Amino acid sequence: MQNSPGGKTVFGLDQNVAALLCYLPFFFVHLIISIAVITQDKENKIVRFHAFQSLFLTLFSTVLQVVLVVLFFVLFLIGGGIASFAIDSATGVPIASIIFMIIWFLFVILIAGLGIGTLVVIVIAMIKAYSLQKWKIPILGKFAEKYAG
């Protein structure tokens, strides 16, 4: 299923370079290269696989980040409203504020962890793509293989 090394692909790039650039998250390079490969290069199956996988990874991580940030702000608004009224009458300590601060902190860690995890997956995928290996990201790789042909 893999093409021979040294073949050319879109923009006259070598296959390994094009596959690597499909993952490069720098000024939307990954989107430009991936879309160009998908639309213009029908023969290089391995490069098409990496292009689709890169797009699916971008879509998945973006949607997940947006959902987590929206949940974070919803919790922020709810927590702020509850915390302003929920003060322990005996001690004067705002228990609800402390609980919501812990939840907000955990959300910040979760959002940052998702970003770092995505970056690690991207680096691994770039290394595998440059060597023209078909490394499947769990779940996303199956979809990429299906659409790449």
pLDDT of residue 77: 79
Determine which of 61-75, 90-104, 125-139 has the lowest per-residue pLDDT on average: 90-104
- Segment 23-45 shows an average pLDDT of 91
- The verdict on residue 95 lying in a domain is yes
pLDDT of residue 86: 64
Q: What percent of the chain has pLDDT over 90?
A: 58
Number of domains into which the chain is organized = 1
Calculate the CA dihedral of residues 66, 70, 75, 81 and round it to 10 degrees: 160
pLDDT of residue 1: 41
Q: Is residue 81's pLDDT more than 70?
A: no
- The verdict on residue 132 lying in a domain is yes
Q: Is residue 2's pLDDT more than 80?
A: no
- The verdict on residue 5 lying in a domain is no
- The verdict on residue 98 lying in a domain is yes
Residue 144 lies in domain = 10-148
- The verdict on residue 42 lying in a domain is yes
Residue 8 near residue 14, CB atoms below 8 Å:
yes
Residue 144 near residue 56, CB atoms below 8 Å:
yes
